[in-house]
Amino acid sequence: MKVVVVGGSAAGMAAAAKAKRMKPELDITIFEKSRYVSYAPCGIPYYFQGMVKSLDDLTYYPVEYFRKKRRLDVQIRHEVIDIDPSEKSVLAISLDTGREVKVYYDKLVLTTGGRPLIPPIKGVELDGIHTLRTLEDAEKLYKETLGASVIGIVGAGYIGLEMAEAFRALGKRVIMIEMLDQVLPSFDPEPSEIVKKELIDKGVELHLSEKVVAFEGGERIKEIVTEKDSYKVDLVLLATGVRPNTAFAEKIGLEIGVTGGVKVDRSMRTSDPDVYAAGDLVETIHLVTNKPVYNPLAPAANKMGRVVGENIAGGRAEFPGVVGTSIMKVFDLEVGKTGLSLREALENGFDAVAVDITHPNKSHYYPGYGKMNIRLVADKDSHRVLGAEIIGPSGVLARIDTMAAAVTAGFTTEQLKMLDLAYAPPFAPVWDGLIVAATVIEKKY
């Protein structure tokens, strides 16, 4: 059986490697437009800060590993220019030689990922305005960053905040502009205020509730113009979100879901039984709302890819969905979220309540003691835990992962407060903040 994978991303390489491992006789070709496969774009901010010495260090395995060790036909710097489902073929062109390659498939795997959302703003095509999605994007942006003094960031989501820290670490003046009235729009306003204060304290010039209306400067960006003011800059990073890259999926007639991602079943099959899709290209199910959601994050993409690979090799794997767990570092804060915010819960019809507590991350007498802010969200009628947002100097990962498990399992707050959580002074107080939050929220029922 011939398998063609379009996209050498996390999902694509996971699918190819898993299928080949289970069924070595499979003939698998992967086409990847860039020169990298199986890489970690989430590490890009740390490359800018000097923690990662080379972009090559952000690849999990080199191309030759997959070619020689996994016996996969990996074609880097090959851009797919056409897919014909009637004859089941993929046409690609080498970006180095211009030679066209046509390959026929029995099963097709689309892992074309997400694409940066570029808002229709006057002047957005000017030189010096960047998006950041691939390692090649990072390479280009880094070279220009070194010669810049003032950098504008449009958007205050995950990428914008992580890159604000990276640019500040390089000694740059950073002007961040967000059209909404808070940073981290997926969070509730109260936790986002903590992150806002951290940004300002670390020297980020933050402008909320300002819509960008134009970029000006002739051939190269010199000024960002908003509805309220204008700001002179040397460089701009657009961090305004990600959308699924569905161009080929739409061309070959695959069903697109309500979120804009390709619609797949739990086996990651599309509306064409010979075509699978995975990663940032697809929508999945949110396990709390039971509704479709677009969740372009690496852990889900990797798992989806493995499900695809197992099923192509004759297995019966399923991807159940997500609860939207994420964590990031913003200067001296760890910022985590899982499940639904209070706003999201109310919008999805839950009779939800929330509680905010401030609680130690470890015993008060132990070095490194600090305070975490925990927001717990639960359903008033069923007492089901719906989500959590946790921010603090350390210890957030353990708590947000615990909450991800609790949300996925459908725990009530009564079950949460009786969890047998670990205790030792270097790691947690004897009454962990999650237990305390679960106890306090019950007063709101």
Supply the residues annotated as catalytic: 42
Q: Name the phi and psi angles at 69, rounded to 5.
A: -80, -45
3-state secondary structure of 225: strand
Q: Are 245 and 117 in contact (CB under 8 A)?
A: no
- CA 260-265-270 angle, to 5 degrees, is 65
DSSP 384: B
Report the candidate in 284, 241, 239 with the shortest Cα–Cα distance to residue 261.
Answer: 284
3-state secondary structure of 43: helix
- Token pair, residue 112, equals 């074309």
Taking the C-alpha atoms of residue 74 and residue 187, their distance in angstroms, rounded to an integer, is 40
Q: Which residues of 36-73 are buried (b: 16+ CB within 10 A; e: fewer)?
A: bbbbbbebbbbbbeeebeebeebbeeebebbeeebebb
Report the candidate in 183, 185, 163 with the shortest Cα–Cα distance to residue 174.
Answer: 163
Q: Give whole-number Cα distances, 399 to 25, 255, 416, in Å.
A: 44, 38, 12
Q: Are 362 and 425 in contact (CB under 8 A)?
A: yes
User: Could you please report the per-residue DSSP string of 59-74?
Assistant: BSS-HHIIIIIS--EE
